[in-house]
Structure formats: C-alpha cells, structure tokens
Amino acid sequence: MSEKYHVAVIVGTRPEGIKMAPVIHALATRGDTLRRSIVSTGQHREMLAQALSLFSIEPDVDLALMTPDQSLSGLTQAAIGGLTECLSRLRPDMLLVQGDTTTVFAASLAAFYGGIPVGHVEAGLRSHDMANPFPEEANRRLTSVLAGLHFAPTPLAREELLREGHDLARIIVTGNTVVDALLGLSETLGPGRCPLLRELAPQAGRFVLVTSHRRESWGEALRHICAAVADLARAFPDVAFVYPVHRNPHVREVAFPTLGGLPNVLLTDPLDYRSFVPLMRDATLILTDSGGVQEEAPTFRTPVLVLRQVTERPEASRLGLAKLVGTDRATIVAEATRLLTDETAREAMRRGPNPYGDGRAADRIAEAICRFAAGDRPVLPTDQQFQDQEGPQP
C-alpha cells in the first residue's frame, strides 16, 4: 500500500469506549500500515468521556449528540446526519463499530450510504427476541447486514452469523475486547479489598453488586428487581448491597423510593470504570441485567445472576458461571438466597475458563484489518483466532 489505510473508529457509549480502547491502542501500534480517526457521537456523553479518559484516549471528532431524555428516533436521526457529514470529510477506508447501540447502527448505515466498508466488533450476538434487549437486538442484526467484516467474540457468535448466511471468510473469531481492557486495568488495581467499599461500608463482610438499567426492564420488571433486592437486604442484614444507579429517571424513580431507606443498601451515582472493576472483583455475588458484566465477571470468577428473560451471551451460563433468573421477585430472592447461604453452590460458579476472551482480541482485530487492507486471504488464519473455551458442559 502506498498510503496508510485509514480506519475511523466510532464510539458513543461507555461500553463502546471501554471495549474499543484496546482496539484503538492496537491500531496505533501498526502505525506503519494504518492510521486512525476516533469519532465520538456522545450518545452517553459524561460516562463515555470518563471511559476514554481512563484509557488516555481523546476523540478527534466529537459530535455531541446527547440531549436530555432523548428518543431513539431523535438520536438515530441526529446520528445518521452527523456521521454522514463527518465521514464525507474524513473519507476513511474502513469504519469500525462495536456492539449494538444506536450509534453502531446509525454509523453503519451512514457508512453503507457512503460506500465505506464496515468492520463490526462483537458481531454475532443474538437473543432471538427483538424485544429483549431492546433496541439492541435489532441494532446488531441490522449492523450485521451492513458489515463487510464480522469480528465475532466467540465461536458461538460465529455460528449465529453462519446460520444467517454470512460468509465464513469474512468472520473472524477474536475473543471479546472487554477482557483485554479488564486484564490491562486489573494490573493497575493492586491487591486488597475494594477501596470504595471500605469507604461506603467498612463493616460489611460480604457484599452483593447490583446493576439494573436496561430499557426493557423499565416499569414493572424494575419494580420487581428492586423489591427483590429489598427482600434480600432485610433477610441478610450482615450483607451490603451496592447499587450504582443509572442517571435515567426511569431507573432512579424506582430504585431510590424502594431501596433508599434500607441501612445495608448503598445507592450511588454511576461509577467510573476504575471504581467499578474492583467491585466486580470483590463481590460475593452480582445481580445484573448488563451484557458487559456477564462478560467481565468470569474473569474474576464472580458468580452472576442475570436479571433478564433471555441473554445473547449464553456461554457463561453453559459453563455454570452465571444463571439466567429473569425479573420475577420470588425467583431472584430464592436464587440469591441459595448462593448467599450455600458456599458449595457459590464455589461451583467460580470454576472454569473465561469463555469470552483471553486478552488478545484487539491484536487479532488489528492484524486482521492489516491483512484485509493488504489483500491477504484468509483475513486471519484459523489457528490465530480465538478458540472455543467452553469445554464440557455441566
């Protein structure tokens, strides 16, 4: 190549920033072949800025699209318009997106309209339920249709793409980049108990980490989840329950009235990633509807109860590292009680490899892009791709 291959990396939310950070750095190490532009839509402005700052990343372009209580259609319209204009100026050779947000779909559509190839990081996740998660299941399916390279995090994600008719030659199994980010950050945390918990609940011997904010949980489901946490807090007064509450009013208007008066429930504002990671590491148990936490917790062997009806990340459940429990109050209480009272059951969820990655996903993605730019085929040899970590199912 006479000129460097130009990759525009798009981020919009905190998870995108965290998961793209290792890729952005890996692309920088191939500066003799590639050049990169980092574009932020600002879909989650403050939380994205925190994540990028943690990894010493500064966007080249910030579209600043976030507005209060923004509708999906309004965000999509603004993102397509802003990204179309941005890409016409940058003129990249490839657009790189991550995951399943509105930013991802809008960027992919804008690139498609502009004739720019799309590389999709974390491709192939499927719940097979368009309402769960909403609107992410639609976003990622539509992005797969538009993408030219599919960076699947696991062999299962590759199989999902193949079932939909995507070309095997354009699917590269990489592992999930969040494991790269987590391992890199963990090296800087040091040993010892989570500093935030020492500050918030110095007397707590054990604690449960709670996260619940997903759009499909708003309303009745979130009320059930919060009621279940309240039941557990009353049943286990010696256990702290730490809940970083999303800023969205649909979440806060349920969480604070239900849980705010309980002495062993600690409701905090959203935490920066450096503070959140040791909470995942040190928790006795995690209750979550987050997709990212499902991928991150196995790195620390922390048991997870998934507060969703379906999950597009079933690998941990198949290994027994997580369990899907839905949003029914009684079910959540029963399953959490079992794990808080039965050490054997808890330890059974702390075994086995992390099926989501080995810390080398970003390097695989950068290498594949270099080979694709040079016209090398296969884009990444099979023996260099992430291998199946699931092993025998329990």
Catalytic residues: 100, 122, 136, 213, 215, 246
Task: Determine the 3-state secondary structure of 98 from DSSP.
Answer: strand
Q: What is the 3-state secondary structure (H, E, C) of 180-249?
A: HHHHHHHCCCCCCCCHHHHHHCCCCCEEEEEECCCHHHCCHHHHHHHHHHHHHHHHCCCEEEEEECCCCH
Exposure b/e, 341-380, CB count within 10 A at least 16 = b? eeeeebeebeebebbbbbbbbbbbbbbbbbbbbeeeeebb
CA distance 179 to 175: 8
CA distance linking residue 221 with residue 306, whole number of Å: 13
- CA-CA distance, 340 to 334, in Å (whole number)? 10
Residue 254 and residue 158: Cα distance in Å, rounded? 38
Separation of alpha carbons 92 and 318, rounded Å: 40
What distance in Å separates the CA atoms of residue 193 and residue 271, rounded to the nearest whole number? 17
Of 237, 246, 224, nearest to 265 (Cα)?
Answer: 237
